[in-house]
Structure 1
Amino acid sequence: MARIRKIEIRNFRSIGRLDWFPLPGINCLIGPGDSGKSTILDAIDFCLGARRNLTFCDDDFHRLKLEQPIQISVTLGELDSHLRSMDAYGLYLRGFNFQSGVIEDEPGLGLDTVVTIELTVGDDLEPQWQLVSPRAAGLGQSRNLSWADRVRLAPTRLGQSGEHNLSWKRGSILNKVSEERASAASAIAQAARDARIAFGNKAKDQLGEALAAVQTTAGRLGVPIAGQVQALLDAHGVNFTGGTISLHGGDGVPLRGLGLGSIRLLVAGLQRHVAGDAPMILIDELEHGLEPHRIIRLLTELGAKEATPPLQAFVTSHSPVAVRELSVKQLHVVRPGPFGHMVSWMGLAGDVQGTVRKFPDALLARSVLVCEGASEVGLIRGIDLYRQAMNWPSLTALGVALVDGGGDTTFTRAIAFQQMGYRTAVLRDSDIAVHGDLEAGFLQAGGQVFKWADGHALEDELFMSLSIGAARQLLERAIDLKEESVVGDHIRSVSQNGYQLDVVKTAATFGSLDAATRNMLGRASRTRRGWFKSVSAMEAVALDIIAPDLHQIAGTKLRTTIDALFQWFGHV
């Protein structure tokens, strides 16, 4: 069965240039919105789809560059005996080198025999398809795939709706399930209801193989169908053609009345049923209409867990569920670059599977900030909320994801994101020695590190840098969160009874917190059961106390570090 070996796109919509070598199984395209994921699916569909007419407009040209033609080339390998036939396509057969990715002009030993289909659209907006062959061009010859081969190789496309695949319309998956075809002529002569019943009785024999496949697939996937599936005349059919015949449940209700998710799941199951003859499927927004458990079921049906992929699937997704369930070898990040679009295969990133499973949502962002712990995550989230209220763009709008580094694993996780091609930074404390070699390698590879003053953890920096009023509010918030007796015990413990809570509160009230007292409060606040050690606690503190105070503490390490961080966020 044919598999796509290479995709080349030039001057098509958001993509000026792209060269991509997809894998034989699932190719899940991820990345932020507007990065070109759906455009890649459209390019494959337009080039390989069995269409006699395809409409283009000026907007389909990259940046409206009408003087440069749209060119989409798809190279197919693993050809069946018919496509490899010298009589059928001998002049157009080429060789693909798996090691180098080079396409040779002729087949050869150790090369995969391939054909390349190219779609070209000029400023006249008329699409032209042809097989690519320098040998044929040298002889002044050109041709396209035969229509029968185009129909056979055309990928099944699942967009927001797949209900057209539940009738025998042109391009429907049902036409690939079997060679059976039904004639509606005799049933049409009767009254509408009688015609549906009469045709249904005949269709049991005429379409038995296809109906059995649908029934089996629906049962295996848990798609609800009442009784035995039938092929009846569609009551909404206007022209009595193959499209007039659609799938119905045993109660006579058309299966197009199923929920969107059920339709997509059923069509994907049928695509697997015909994978030997029609091996490709395109699914835009994989998760559309599906609950998390059915997303997992769909991925399993596509062969996500199988060593030998049953079909080649090209899917896009913004679902953390899909990212978590797939192997890194099935994930591809789409990014625009200065020299064209890139599709980065995560299988080259090394041992990052654990990071992907733990933080799947971060893989859908443009930039990743790995925070040393939950407190730092809460700090940035709270300041971000405050800035949003001041009409600054949010971190989500800037495409930034926050990741809890888990203390000792901070740089390990940061390096994993860096290896996957993400713009990555670290926010860390400076109170203890860090993994110097890991940090040095991270910085050398282009990462950025933000940290507090030497010897300071986040809590130290807060009590040392904030104004007296804000420091007093921090102490009052700690009492609200932990109770006065607990906070008092922490203060006495770290100061070896040198300080008492009442005395410190009085000093804060009258604006006389000296450096030694501030230093003690920082150490007391970060005990093992610290005052603000959760994301939610520090987020509230940052929103209510820290962010409003930043304008009063210009020049402090706290202020300069936060300013540098948000400047980094803005340059995405």
Structure 2
Amino acid sequence: MQIREVTVQNFKGIASMSWKPGAPFCCLIGAGDIGKTSLLDAIEATLSPRWITFMEADFLDCDTGNPIQIDVTIGELSSDLKSDERFGTFVRGWTKENVLRDEPISDDEPVLTVRLTVDATMEPVWELVREDLDRPKVLSNRDRALFGLVRLSGSDARHLAWGQGSVLARLTDNTDETAQRLAGAYRSARSNADFRDIPELAASAAAAEKQAKSLGAYVTGEYQPGLELGRSGFSSGSIALYDNGIPLRQAGLGTKRLATLAVQKSGIVEGAMILIDEIEHGLEPHRIMGAISQIKSDQKKNAAKHRPTGQILMTTHSDVALAEAGGEALRILRRDRHTRKMSVLAVKEPEVIGPVLRFTPRALLAKRVLIIEGYTEVGMLSGIKENWPERHDDIPIEQLGAALADGNGSQGVSLAATLKGLGYETCLFRDSDTDMKPADFDKLKAAGVPIIEYSGKVNTEQAIFLPSNDELVQRLLDFAAKEHGLQSVAACIASKVDGLSPEVAEGPFSEWVQNLDIDPVELRKTLGEVVHRKKWFKEQRIGRAASTLVWDVIRSNLDSDLATTFEKIETWLYE
């Protein structure tokens, strides 16, 4: 099953919102406390079979006079749910244009709308609704269980035992023989507890183990049912999943979360709707990547076999998870500070943000993003920004929600405009040695994206060399020689400077410059062009290593084009 639309009113920090996920896999991102978890809470409260206890704090502004209403419209329905014996009377239509209507026609997808309302009495009411019908159908917890919702958050391990209401309990065939054998096992528990001989329990454990391995949980032996006695005495809840003699409820946080998700997935016959809050919690980067990859792979396999794919709605603050999810899955949450109306924006051109996902995905978790034209500037600014906090009450740009992003050269214009359209404050920093195309300039102006560039027609390397005195030029050349070899650097420079031999160029700058009949400014401009053409500072690692030198150049001449340009960048990032 998949959610086609969710609308929320007066729930927690959300005054109103309407969202159509539009995909089987969605990765929700946004600023902290924007409402990502609240959105998952709203969906869970509406579709979970559990009884939800509401409090005053669950209402917007704690105002119980404005009732909570959450509508979740669900598609990819099973035949059972669409049958007249079940909910057929309340089936609605979802058009190809993603519009909901009460009376479906032949080309519409059959959908059901579940409505949760909570008024001042704090008593939740779950109903199936059609606006053209006078009376809705009240849904019980058993009815809601049919929608197959799974929620993974925190370290909830209740599904790792055969307790009342757990998925393992539902997975286990409840036959008279099973009950009798369990009763016998209870009686001899203290002397000889062995549940492996009960086929139904063993089958449930094996199904959970298979799913857990696929998601990346560490399985040291094999999953088996075992006895776990606690203060509450002996009951079905005392039978828990074990791995190599250790209760899974005692496993590490990451493995415990993945095992819990695996157990819940095992309990869903057809495509489950899975809500995952902060998938990275307790997981190493490789297991984050593995879990997301496996979930997406399962959906693709089901789609290829024309089986229900289900749906994953996932939140994250991890750049690893972002990169693995991909641009098509990204959904950016925005909320108006005054009205508290929430919107969820999809990336219309996923390929445009590809460079950010490949090189600096963490920038998408920021509020303000500086798009930088190339590797040289990205590396240098990554180091130079470390000098700024002492000028701003020891506050780094990251604390203000600002980030740097590689624009991948000419793609920077489209990237800046796209991010601006997704609600990010964006600015483009570029060299000025080539004029910007009029169409690109108009595109950024229309989007409201400012441009920062050098005042003269220079590239960054020239902007660095031009204000440098002889000592700083020598340090820059020594740095290039250390990275790329003295002879190679000297030969390249000599080939572009008239009257300079490679042998002389290997010597001190202050000596060989005295023997040249060339304007010092033109010489420095030529040196910068050589460094630029040869891409000696192009790698981010090298650019960052050179940032200390660049910072010294800036401090040596605060009126230079380099210094004033970088000051504009600093000012924008700290606005």
Deviates more, 1:490-499 or 1:171-180: 490-499
**1:148 equivalent in structure 2:** 142
Deviation per CA, 1:334-353: give whole Å up to 9, x if none. Answer: 2224662222222x225337
Confirm whether residue 387 of structure 1 aligns to residue 388 of structure 2: yes
1:349 aligns with 2:354: no
Question: 1:18: Cα distance to partner?
Answer: 1.8
| Residue 8 of structure 1, CA deviation | 1.0
Q: What pairs with 1:60-459 in structure 2 (closer than 5 Å)?
A: 60-86=58-84, 88-89=86-87, 92-99=90-97, 101-136=98-133, 139=134, 141-180=135-174, 183=179, 184-190=182-188, 192-194=189-191, 196-197=193-194, 200=195, 204-218=198-212, 223-225=217-219, 228-236=222-230, 238-249=232-243, 251-277=244-270, 279-304=272-297, 306=300, 308=303, 310-337=309-336, 340-346=341-347, 348-349=348-349, 351-352=351-352, 354-355=354-355, 357-359=357-359, 360-390=361-391, 391-411=393-413, 413-414=415-416, 417=419, 422-459=424-461
Post-superposition CA distance 1:376-428 (Å, at most 9, x none): 12332233211123335322223333233344444355456456664432211
SS at match of 1:44: helix
CA contact (8 A) 2:114 2:126 kept: yes
Answering whether residue 534 of structure 2 is matched by residue 525 of structure 1, we say no
Cα pair distance change 1:123/1:543, threshold 3 Å: farther
Q: Which residue of 2 aligns with 1:561?
A: 565
Aligned partner of residue 526 in structure 2, secondary structure: helix
Are the equivalent residues in 2 in contact too, given 1:425–1:447 (CA < 8 A)? yes
Distance 1:65 1:459, change over 3 A: farther
Give the CA deviation at 1:452.
0.4
Q: Structure 2 vs 1, CA of residues 240 and 152 (structure 1 numbering), >3 Å: closer, same or farther?
A: farther
Distance in structure 2 (CA, Å) of the matches to 1:68 and 1:383:
51
Deviation at 1:9, TM superposition (A): 1.7
d(CA) in 2 for partners of 1:293, 1:205: 35
Change (3 A) 1:447 1:219: closer
Tell me how far apart the structure 2 counterparts of residues 536 and 267 of structure 1 sit (CA, whole Å).
Answer: 41
Distance in 2 between residues matched to 1:315 and 1:239, nearest whole Å: 37
CA distance in 2, matches of 1:404, 1:252: 49
Report the Cα distance in structure 2 between the residues aligned to 1:113 and 1:430, rounded to whole angstroms: 56
Please give the secondary structure, in 2, of the residue aligned with 1:113. strand
After superposition, give the CA deviation of every residue in 1:459-497 in whole Å (9 maximum; x if it has no partner).
33334457x6xx743543443553688777666554423
CA distance in 1, matches of 2:536, 2:292: 44
Q: 1:165 to 1:489 in 2, by over 3 A?
A: same
Distance 2:17 2:46 in 1: 15
Letter in 2 for 1:352: V
**Letter of the 1:110 counterpart:** D
Distance 1:353 1:476, change over 3 A: closer
- One-letter code of the match for 1:233? L
Query: Quick one: distance in 2 between partners of 1:409 and 1:329?
Result: 18
Partner Cα distance (1:174, 1:84) in 2:
27
Q: 1:358 to 1:350 in 2, by over 3 A?
A: closer
CA distance in 2, matches of 1:420, 1:494: 46
Structure 1 residues 280 and 485, CA gap change in structure 2 (3 angstroms): closer
Provide closer, same or farther for how the CA distance between residues 224 and 322 of structure 1 changes in structure 2, counting only shifts above 3 A.
closer
- 8 Å Cα contact 1:494/1:520 also seen in 2: no
Q: CA deviation at 1:167?
A: 0.9
Q: Is the 8 A contact 2:159 2:263 kept in 1?
A: no
Work out the CA distance in 1 between the residues paired with 2:202 and 2:489.
76
Q: Alignment RMSD, CA only?
A: 3.7
Give the conservation status (yes or no) of the 8 Å contact 1:91–1:133: no
Distance in 2 separating the partners of 1:213 and 1:541: 55
Whether the aligned pair in 2 keeps the contact of 1:349 and 1:420 (CA below 8 Å) is no
- C-alpha displacement at 1:6, in angstroms? 0.7
2:443, 2:256 → 1: CA distance? 49
Name the CA distance, whole Å, in 2 between partners of 1:485 and 1:201. Answer: 73
Q: Does 1:10 align with 2:9?
A: yes
Shift, 1:96, TM fit: 2.4
Aligned residue for 2:48? 49
Aligned sequence identity (%): 30
Number of the residue aligned with 1:497: 499
Structure 2 residue 546 is matched with structure 1 residue 546: no
Alpha-carbon distance between aligned partners in 2 of 1:480 and 1:329, rounded to the nearest angstrom? 42
Please tell me the residue identity of whatever aligns with 1:445: A
8 Å CA contact retained: 2:6, 2:71: yes
How far 1:372 moved relative to its partner?
A: 2.1
Letter in 1 for 2:112: V
Amino acid at match of 2:527: A
Q: Which runs of 5+ in 1 are unaligned?
A: 509-514
Aligned partner of 1:7: which letter?
A: V
- The number of residues matched between the two structures is 551
Q: Would the aligned equivalents of 2:353 and 2:415 in 1 still touch at CA under 8 Å?
A: no
**What displacement does 1:148 show?**
1.4
Give the letter aligned to residue 525 of structure 1.
Answer: G
* Equivalent-residue separation in structure 2 for 1:286 and 1:91 (angstroms): 38
CA contact (8 A) 1:284 1:316 kept: yes
For residues 302 and 201 of structure 1, the distance between their equivalents in structure 2, rounded to whole angstroms, comes to 29
Q: C-alpha distance in 2, partners of 1:208/1:537?
A: 57
CA separation in 2, counterparts of 1:106 and 1:409? 46
TM-score (norm 2): 0.82
Where 1:188 maps in the other structure, the secondary structure is helix
